[in-house]
Structure 1
């Protein structure tokens, strides 16, 4: 996609590590447990440095350390963190079906009021193998996407105000109300690499999120999903989720990447391998593909997929190399970048100081 003066200003987001944090990943316990005090440091650092938003994921068990290691609940923590920030937005990941739609719409509207309009929602319809079943939910992959579509539709209807009726396969509303409504309609973000996910996002989502892959694959996905959006009479917007490992010297960056997983526990590695058995998630399979030295591109490394569920690929290099790699994604049509690095406080500072100014200069020159 060619650069265009009509494109919005790019947005740069950070990540809230609800599994815990540190420089040694895949161990039994995190070096930095996900306490409120630590996560507050992460989000307040990102806010001070001018990031646009924070993605807080959703999990049922720890997905970075041992499954039994501490893991905070997404909505409760997001609410607490919103109360100790002032400007930065929160992109809150949710799995449809665990909270009744009418109540969920009210929860979003309430947090929107508390935060003065700083809430967006990341809809996560898919799930790793046996994940939903842990909490007694048994619904097939296609049903999850139908349920997700009904959730987005019913929430928008409720947020419009007035008395709402909605009749779906999974969600039924009869004379439901949501008052007060959000200050501004929260945006729905959605990812997923399957044809069903792409079709759903084109119909309902405001932003399509992708995990980082080589430029060629991202270009193909942007073109395909853009066509689906246009067929629905809608304008596509694209976001990219990526880890970054940045050091002044390239060899130091690659050494740091490998060190992140060098101390992983054998039981944790087995837990992560078990996640891949029978998973219906196309994107997860792509992230965990086996390649020599985990290098899926000159600056792309998927070693994190051995210790982490979901997004498992990082951009590795010097500040200039990482900025150039991200600029390539911007040229393809990405306008929002959700970044992270371990540990999240220090790397939030490093990326803000060393990478983003270079990237912003490249974008400004190309516009």
Structure 2
């Protein structure tokens, strides 16, 4: 295994949803995946947030308490916790366990989830709110006195009793692919996480990139043999007409820019010689595109993303440890082949 972090490349996986799992089985599944991630040398895994999942901070604590190096990438949505509560959670984990969390700042969510909590802000206004939110969290994490008066938040003389040590400060990202998300990330000095279009389109010089770095959420099914990789892919993600109808309903509800963007990518379900695959997204199996093929085929696509500025990869939920190991092999080959 080569040291990807030394080359500026960061790998995360994604934690499985708690939906359909009882308390005991979900904890077991969470810790099993965290072990796979540690063994494969990834930095950690995304713990995402919506109204149907368990609390992300409790899941992060459980993972930290039962691993040695796993870093939760916690999805933080302003409706879920105040800026002070988020900063205090980061500080508490740092001081209880001597461990860090990373943060994926999310401006919104599913329309139904926002409606439940009475959030009626427009898409761009949610990023304005997120910018204020992150500004306050950062002030608190760095030990300063937070005095802030904005449109959405006002705090006066707020301070954490125990500031977070510098070496445990989170690596943070802003999630999104719209101009508003790009502006928010750059104004905060944070990199951006998005769902990627075709590698060659993303790498185009005409596509504006976040000057503080970019990352993508993507699935990878790589194996020694391309036919075996595609056999696994088709078995896991069949072209299910009912799934296609569910995705149409989701797209019609609106609320995000990335879902219509992915849905409009002009590529057939099966494109000969093309590792970029949208069937898992189009048929509502998951929310990201996939790269499928042998190690070299996947590596070629990853190299294009790397040359386009991507340095962080958040891989979709693995079904088995081999998913992480084979993806890593492809990414290591891509790093070796990227432009310097």
Does the CA contact (< 8 Å) of 2:203 and 2:304 recur in 1?
Answer: no
Does the CA contact (< 8 Å) of 1:340 and 1:347 recur in 2?
Answer: no
Assess, with a 3 A threshold, how the Cα gap between structure 1 residues 342 and 264 changes in structure 2: closer, same or farther. Answer: farther
Kindly provide the CA deviation profile for residues 314-362 of structure 1, in whole angstroms up to 9, marking residues without a partner as x. 001111111221122112222222223541534123334x424433443
The secondary structure found in structure 2 opposite 1:131 is: helix
CA distance in 1, matches of 2:335, 2:203: 21
1:40 deviates by 0.5
1:310 deviates by 7.1
Does the CA contact (< 8 Å) of 1:190 and 1:205 recur in 2?
Answer: no
Assess, with a 3 A threshold, how the Cα gap between structure 1 residues 258 and 186 changes in structure 2: closer, same or farther. Answer: same
How many residues are paired up?
330
CA distance in 2, matches of 1:193, 1:103: 27
Name the structure 2 match of 1:48: 39
Counterpart among 83, 105, 124 of residue 65 in structure 2: 83
With normalisation by structure 1, the TM-score equals 0.80
Name the structure 1 match of 2:275: 299
Name the structure 1 match of 2:326: 350
Assess, with a 3 A threshold, how the Cα gap between structure 1 residues 114 and 330 changes in structure 2: closer, same or farther. Answer: farther
Say whether residues 1:323 and 2:309 are aligned partners.
no
CA distance in 1, matches of 2:213, 2:320: 26
Name the structure 1 match of 2:3: none
With normalisation by structure 2, the TM-score equals 0.86
1:170 deviates by 1.3
Give the superposed CA RMSD: 2.8
- Stretch moving more, 168-177 or 110-119: 110-119
1:273 deviates by 2.8
The secondary structure found in structure 2 opposite 1:96 is: coil
Name the structure 1 match of 2:288: 312
The secondary structure found in structure 1 opposite 2:216 is: strand
Say whether residues 1:104 and 2:80 are aligned partners.
no
Instruction: Give unpaired runs (5+ residues) of structure 2.
Output: 1-5
Assess, with a 3 A threshold, how the Cα gap between structure 1 residues 222 and 192 changes in structure 2: closer, same or farther. Answer: farther
Kindly provide the CA deviation profile for residues 207-228 of structure 1, in whole angstroms up to 9, marking residues without a partner as x. 21122221233224885234xx
CA distance in 2, matches of 1:147, 1:329: 30
Counterpart among 16, 20, 26 of residue 35 in structure 1: 26
Assess, with a 3 A threshold, how the Cα gap between structure 1 residues 47 and 130 changes in structure 2: closer, same or farther. Answer: same
CA distance in 1, matches of 2:334, 2:268: 29
The secondary structure found in structure 1 opposite 2:221 is: strand
Assess, with a 3 A threshold, how the Cα gap between structure 1 residues 180 and 222 changes in structure 2: closer, same or farther. Answer: farther
1:72 deviates by 3.1
Instruction: Give unpaired runs (5+ residues) of structure 1.
Output: 1-6, 21-28, 62-70, 230-235
Kindly provide the CA deviation profile for residues 241-295 of structure 1, in whole angstroms up to 9, marking residues without a partner as x. 21012233323322322222328583x6544332211313111112233742265
CA distance in 2, matches of 1:275, 1:114: 41
Counterpart among 231, 238, 250 of residue 255 in structure 1: 231
